[in-house]
């Protein structure tokens, strides 16, 4: 049995460990082995190490971490027709069944029996990864795996929410984005590409507002305690048709709802606190609260089309796979600008 280098969780509250792990092999007809070109280092990886996912994922240790992956197709099963060996691909974070009602409706994220590499099975901090034909998306020649890997999960979540919002936004509407950080930064670019509505970004950080304006925001509003009044002023006292909350904590949810117009949609993407709102307020304003999970396989295809156009880009900071501990440490210390990417 051949082996490969892989960074594994060997125990909670312990450091990750580089190991020689078995090379994944094709055993089923839709199996796809991907040679990793880039694996995103995500805050969720820190939470895994803290044991926060142990009960939920029921994963057996040791296992290989990493859920934001892109690379090159290395081997394929007999039934795979959508990619060929050598293709550059990004990986949808889930491996889905293809047979349940959700999968048959294009809503594969709600698959009844999905696996989640990097969370509940081997992931991408490694040389190779096993996934499925249903999870690989070919990327444009102009894109490189290490540059787009982080779009596989964080970017896909932002895309999914922004694309849903764009369906109802018109040239006369305002979309307020709370939080111009990792997800918000992608969300703003997607909104700019998909809708002509005015984009107003709210953030505590003046530098984040400047960045937001440079990538498409029409207005920046400093979250200085008067942000609700400021947004209402910008919208004739009515609030925004759509509010996209990429923060979801520290009071963002009640602020967000207060900035949403009658019959508007408040999108919850970031999370942390509770939404706590009187039913009478939702009834009298007819505001909807829209839940948002990661995007579907189709969403990832669409996002890669935007990336190929140059409409969505992401700042990355690359580390060799062997330097995984530096990447983890830098992320934990807040020293990563954009996204840390491991490159085997």
Instruction: Choose which of 49, 186, 268, 328 interacts with a second copy (CB under 8 A).
Output: 268
Instruction: Choose which of 253, 324, 339, 343 interacts with a second copy (CB under 8 A).
Output: 253
Using CB under 8 A, which residues numbered 75 to 104 contact a second copy? 79-82, 97-102, 104
| DSSP per-residue codes, 37-86 | EEEEE-HHHHHHHTTTTHHHH-PPSSEE----EEEEEEEE-TT--S--TT
- C-beta neighbour count of 206 within 10 angstroms: 11
Q: How far is the CB of 58 from a second copy (least distance, A)?
A: 16
- Tell me whether residue 58 or residue 170 sits nearer to a second copy (CB atom): 170
- Which range in 40-48, 201-209, 267-275, 329-337 contacts a second copy by CB under 8 A? 267-275
Cα–Cα distance, 246 to 179 (Å, whole number): 5
* 276 lies in the binding site for a second copy (CB under 8 A): yes
Instruction: Choose which of 55, 60, 172, 225 interacts with a second copy (CB under 8 A).
Output: 172
* CA-wise closest residue to 42 among 110, 121, 123: 123
CA atoms within 13 A on the CB side of 314: 37
* CA-wise closest residue to 5 among 323, 336, 341, 339: 323
Angle at the Cα of 175 (from 171 to 180), degrees rounded to 5?
A: 135
Residues contacting a second copy: total by CB under 8 A: 70
* 254 lies in the binding site for a second copy (CB under 8 A): no
Binding mask 233-252 for a second copy (x = CB under 8 A): ---------------xx---
* CA-wise closest residue to 158 among 179, 135, 134: 179
Query: In a 3-state reduction of DSSP, which class is residue 225?
Result: coil
- Tell me whether residue 14 or residue 309 sits nearer to a second copy (CB atom): 309
* 282 lies in the binding site for a second copy (CB under 8 A): yes
- Tell me whether residue 76 or residue 327 sits nearer to a second copy (CB atom): 76
- Tell me whether residue 128 or residue 159 sits nearer to a second copy (CB atom): 159
Token pair for 317 = 């900071």
- Tell me whether residue 225 or residue 236 sits nearer to a second copy (CB atom): 236
Cα–Cα distance, 98 to 107 (Å, whole number): 10
278-283: long-range contacts, CB 8 A cutoff, minimum separation 24:
281/257
- C-beta neighbour count of 50 within 10 angstroms: 11
* 278 lies in the binding site for a second copy (CB under 8 A): yes
Cα–Cα distance, 202 to 227 (Å, whole number): 7
Strand residues in 109-197 grouped as ranges (E): 128-132, 136-138, 174-178
* 193 lies in the binding site for a second copy (CB under 8 A): yes
- Tell me whether residue 63 or residue 267 sits nearer to a second copy (CB atom): 267
Q: How far is the CB of 109 from a second copy (least distance, A)?
A: 8
Using CB under 8 A, which residues numbered 111 to 170 contact a second copy? 113, 133-134, 167, 170
Token pair for 276 = 């706590």
- Tell me whether residue 149 or residue 199 sits nearer to a second copy (CB atom): 199
* 272 lies in the binding site for a second copy (CB under 8 A): yes
- Tell me whether residue 244 or residue 336 sits nearer to a second copy (CB atom): 244
* CA-wise closest residue to 145 among 36, 7, 4: 36
Token pair for 251 = 């009071």
Which residues lie near a second copy (CB under 8 A)? 28-30, 79-82, 97-102, 104-110, 113, 133-134, 167, 170-172, 193-196, 248-249, 253, 262-263, 268-280, 282-293, 297-298, 301-303, 305-306, 309, 311
């Amino acid at each position: 049995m051949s082996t490969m280098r892989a960074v594994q969780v060997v125990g909670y509250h312990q450091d990750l460990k580089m190991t020689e792990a078995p090379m994944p092999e094709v055993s089923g007809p839709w199996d796809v082995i991907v040679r990793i070109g880039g694996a995103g280092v995500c805050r969720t990886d820190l939470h895994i190490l803290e044991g926060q996912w142990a009960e939920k994922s029921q994963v057996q240790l040791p296992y290989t971490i990493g859920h934001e992956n892109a690379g090159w197709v290395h081997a394929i099963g007999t039934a795979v027709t959508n990619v060929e060996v050598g293709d550059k691909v990004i990986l949808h974070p889930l491996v889905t069944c293809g047979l349940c009602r959700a999968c048959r409706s294009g809503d594969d994220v709600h698959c009844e029996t999905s696996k989640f590499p990097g969370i509940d099975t081997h992931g991408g901090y490694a040389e190779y990864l096993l996934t499925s034909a249903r999870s690989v998306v070919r990327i444009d020649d102009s894109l490189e795996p290490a540059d787009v890997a982080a779009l596989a999960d964080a970017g896909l979540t932002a895309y999914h929410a922004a694309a849903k919002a764009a369906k109802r936004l018109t040239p006369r509407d305002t979309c307020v984005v709370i939080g111009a950080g990792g997800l918000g930064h992608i969300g703003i670019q997607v909104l700019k590409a998909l809708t002509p509505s005015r984009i107003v970004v709210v953030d505590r950080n003046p530098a984040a507002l400047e960045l937001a304006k440079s990538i498409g925001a029409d207005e920046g509003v400093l979250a200085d305690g008067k942000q609700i009044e400021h947004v209402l002023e910008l919208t004739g006292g009515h609030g925004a048709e759509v509010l996209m909350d990429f923060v979801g904590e520290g009071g963002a949810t009640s602020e967000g709802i207060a900035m949403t117009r009658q019959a508007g949609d408040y999108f919850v993407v970031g999370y942390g606190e509770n939404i706590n709102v009187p039913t009478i307020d939702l009834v009298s304003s007819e505001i909807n609260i829209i839940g948002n999970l990661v995007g579907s396989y189709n969403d990832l295809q669409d996002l890669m089309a935007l990336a190929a156009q140059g409409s969505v880009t992401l700042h990355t900071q690359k580390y060799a796979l062997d330097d995984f501990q530096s990447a983890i440490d830098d992320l934990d210390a807040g020293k990563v600008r954009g996204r840390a990417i491991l490159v085997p």
